[in-house]
Structure 1
Amino acid sequence: MASRTPNPLGAPVGGKPAQRPSRETRLVGRHVTLVGLTSAQHADELYPHVSGPKNAHLWDYLLEEPFDDIAVFRASIEAKEASRDPVFYAILLNDGEKDEVAGMASYMRIEPGHRCIEVGSLLFLPKLQRTPAATEAMYLMARHVFEDLGYRRYEWKCNALNAPSRRAALRLGFTFEGLFRKHMIIKGRSRDTTWFSMIDDDWPGIKQALEAWLDPSNFDDEGKQKRRLEEFRQ
């Protein structure tokens, strides 16, 4: 009998499963600190900036509807505080005596066995959007995933219509992997989902570019960048 050609198989993977992220973790940078999100510490401060008709657009691509009741918002934050997947963090601006809440983010779809994890549920207040602080928050979360928790794959997914989120993923160094058509029904509307990823092999180069961009020498006296982040990866 003729011998059978073996089927191709993936490379063996050794080592231990990744660690689960902890709400007790503090990720500290020059501009921001990330801490476990709590209703007692963060709900009342966040609420004026995320509620009412003028802020409804902040929720366009998130799973929740806009809020117009502080009690309902507190309950939502309490549920996030209790969640083990996703694990939510408040993003605080390092601003002297009182760190100001400027947004929230989470680790989600946490699979320690496969060493795969996703960043999501990003809500950035206007004062955080398109700032070095926002980039630093994403840098701190990625560094923690690869260097402290031991993940191999870090995912970013968003509504295909969310152009700012797609641009942010590519700018940060994530790789576009494809479009999941009619992936979800969110708030009664069809959602196609774009998938992006960053893997541990990518991380050293991405880290080097992020740290070079975030370095104070890359900004002038008015705080304007001298070189774009993408230029550091070329």
Structure 2
Amino acid sequence: MKAGCDMTERVNGFGQAIGPDVENWTARPRPPRTAMSGRTCRVEPYEPRHASDLFAAYSKDREGRNWTYMGYGPFEEENAFAEFAAATYPGDDPMFHVVVDAQSGRALGVASFLRIDPANGVIEVGHINFSPALQATVMASEAMFLMMGRVFDELGYRRYEWKCDALNAPSRRAAARLGFVYEGTFRQAVIYKGRNRDTAWFSITDGEWPALKAAFEAWLDPSNFDADGRQKRALASFRG
């Protein structure tokens, strides 16, 4: 059952401040291995058949910039990428999904659910690697919206997290644009590729989700785009 949470400040019998009760809470289900479909894209669990499409899409990133803030890659050969994908993408946590262009049927990028915590209703989105053909598109935003909808509407989680290298300016901008709230930076959190990473944390809570959902739905409406597919109003403008 999805919980209700009265945020009124409370104290215990010793006058100490304590958190609000979370009523009727039960552990949440784990994400299912089923597709999420939208107007412009489909987000579906990774399968080996996606590897060729993904490698082709990533190969358009000639300089390998997409991989700068990933803990792996880039991959120069399709066989090497396919081996990496076979070893990494089929697991349950992280649970990798591919973003498939609804028009062409091609897989153009990946994102995953990870650090899945059913007992506390917390889940993270990460390992986001969108190819040049997917970046800054309606598909990219809709894919994130579909994953949010699964977390909050379908599964009833309380908190959705986004974390990135604090130096990854595009990821930080994307998190803010999508409605995630910056919470702080964990210094010297990770070592990857032989270098330090300070990790910036962002989140959305279930109480924030209804307004964000309404903003996404208004932004994604076809009436918000002209004949060339350009947005008339930015996503943030629908959040007020």
Q: Against the structure 1 CA distance between its residues 115 and 170, is the aligned structure 2 distance closer, same or farther, given a 3 Å change threshold? A: same
Any unmatched runs of 5+ in structure 2? 1-12
Alignment of 1:1-234 (within 5 A): 5-13=14-22, 14-22=24-32, 24-39=33-48, 41-51=49-59, 54-95=62-103, 98-234=104-240
* 1:55 positional shift: 4.6
* 1:187 positional shift: 0.3
Contact 1:29 1:136 in 2 (8 A): yes
Query: Which amino acid in structure 2 is aligned with residue 201 of structure 1?
Result: G
Whole-Å Cα distance in 2 between the matches of residues 221 and 70 of structure 1?
A: 37
Contact 1:51 1:66 in 2 (8 A): no
* 1:36 positional shift: 0.8
Q: Secondary structure at the residue paired with 2:231?
A: coil
- Per the normalisation by structure 1, the TM-score is 0.92
Whole-Å Cα distance in 1 between the matches of residues 112 and 161 of structure 2?
A: 12
Query: Is the helix fraction higher in 1 or 2?
Result: 1
Q: Secondary structure at the residue paired with 1:16?
A: coil
Alignment size in residue pairs: 227
Query: Which amino acid in structure 2 is aligned with residue 138 of structure 1?
Result: M
* 1:223 positional shift: 1.2
* 1:151 positional shift: 0.6
Whole-Å Cα distance in 2 between the matches of residues 222 and 81 of structure 1?
A: 35
* 1:216 positional shift: 0.6
Whole-Å Cα distance in 2 between the matches of residues 225 and 49 of structure 1?
A: 24
Q: Secondary structure at the residue paired with 1:227?
A: coil
* 1:51 positional shift: 4.5
* 1:46 positional shift: 1.4
1:34-55 deviations in Å (ceiling 9; x for gaps): 111112x111121133249815
Q: Secondary structure at the residue paired with 1:140?
A: helix
- Root-mean-square deviation (CA), in Å? 1.5
Contact 1:37 1:80 in 2 (8 A): no
- Per the normalisation by structure 2, the TM-score is 0.90
Whole-Å Cα distance in 1 between the matches of residues 53 and 128 of structure 2?
A: 17
Whole-Å Cα distance in 1 between the matches of residues 226 and 77 of structure 2?
A: 42
* 1:182 positional shift: 1.3
* 1:80 positional shift: 2.8
Contact 2:57 2:108 in 1 (8 A): no
* 1:58 positional shift: 1.1
Contact 2:44 2:97 in 1 (8 A): yes
